[in-house]
Amino acid sequence: MQVFFFLILSIFCLNNTYAAYPFPSKHHKISDKKAANFFTEIVTASVPAVVFIQVKLTPSSSWISSLWGNNEERAYIGSGFLITEDGYIITNEHVIQGADVITVTLSNQLQFDGVVIGADPISDIALIKIEAEGLPFLALADSDSIELGEWVAAIGSPFGLQSTVTFGIVSSLKKDKFQEPDTLQVNLSINPGNSGGPLLNLDGEVIGVSRSTWRYKEGFYTGLSFAIPSNVAKDTIEKLLDQELP
């Protein structure tokens, strides 16, 4: 009888233990998975507005260039993003600097000739245009509202790998010896070819323009990358369109 009593008591305690500590259901796991992939929808909507930029520089025909072996055609790559449906694109000034030919490739692989509308080496912002209509585009957010630790995504074409996405956070809002004025510090990877691409917030809006990575040693990833705040880009573009900048 005592054995039977303790058996019943053990079952009762076991049931109470499971009731007090319920295991997550399958429904909870699905919800957690969706929460973990919160960038998926943002990236899917944003990628079509991000472009791959290829630049060619015509070799100099001078005898001095020939003497020093500088008469070969040079090519560079970068990224950019559409800000209007009729083909206006923001990128870095250093991406298109000195360009003779600019080829813009959309995410659907359609290619267009790019024309420089204006460029500002101080802010490192340039505005180029392609002849097309009905294009997807990205909105520019207020970069003054950025918070430390905010999640961000960068889309671009590092080493020519088009529509590559990286994630990270805003690492610092302070200015230090590595940073120039009006620069965002982030911990995601910005490699050659990423320059000029968008830095997106959780609303899918552009809060910055990818610019560079601090490299301590060759091949050594520092986790220090930099972007130009969207408000700086907006101000520069407005001045370029109004021809207030040279």
Same fold, 44-129 and 143-239: yes
pLDDT for 169-181, tens place per residue?
999 876 555 555 5
Give me the catalytic one of 46, 123, 124, 225: 124
Confirm whether pTM is higher than 0.85.
Answer: no
On the question of pLDDT at 30 being above 70, the answer is: no
94 counts as catalytic: yes
Instruction: Give 145's DSSP letter.
Output: G
Q: In this structure, what is the dihedral angle of CA atoms 59, 62, 66, 71, given to the nearest 10 degrees?
A: 0
Residue 75: per-residue pLDDT: 85
Residue 26: per-residue pLDDT: 40
Q: Which residue has the higher pLDDT, 229 or 245?
A: 229
Q: Does domain 143-239 have CATH number 2.40.10.10?
A: yes
**Per-domain residue ranges of the chain:** 44-129, 143-239
Residue 106 has phi, psi (to 5 degrees) of -80, 170
What percentage of the chain has pLDDT greater than the value 90? 55
Q: Which of 21-30, 71-80, 202-211 has the highest mean pLDDT?
A: 202-211
Instruction: Give 92's DSSP letter.
Output: E
Q: Please state, in angstroms and rounded to a whole number, the distance separating the CA atoms of residues 46 and 198.
A: 9
Going by pLDDT thresholds of 50, 70 and 90, the confidence category of residue 182 is: confident
pLDDT for 1-15, tens place per residue?
554 444 444 544 544
pLDDT for 138-158, tens place per residue?
999 999 999 999 999 999 999
Give me the catalytic one of 46, 195, 210, 212: 195
Going by pLDDT thresholds of 50, 70 and 90, the confidence category of residue 110 is: very high
pLDDT for 202-242, tens place per residue?
999 999 999 877 655 565 556 688 899 999 999 999 999 88
Among 55-59, 126-130, 168-172, the minimum mean pLDDT is found in 55-59
Q: In this structure, what is the dihedral angle of CA atoms 196, 197, 203, 205, given to the nearest 10 degrees?
A: 40
163 counts as catalytic: no
Q: Does domain 44-129 have CATH number 2.40.10.10?
A: yes
Residues 100-118 have a mean pLDDT of 96
Residue 81: per-residue pLDDT: 98
On the question of pLDDT at 84 being above 80, the answer is: yes
Q: Please state, in angstroms and rounded to a whole number, the distance separating the CA atoms of residues 21 and 228.
A: 49
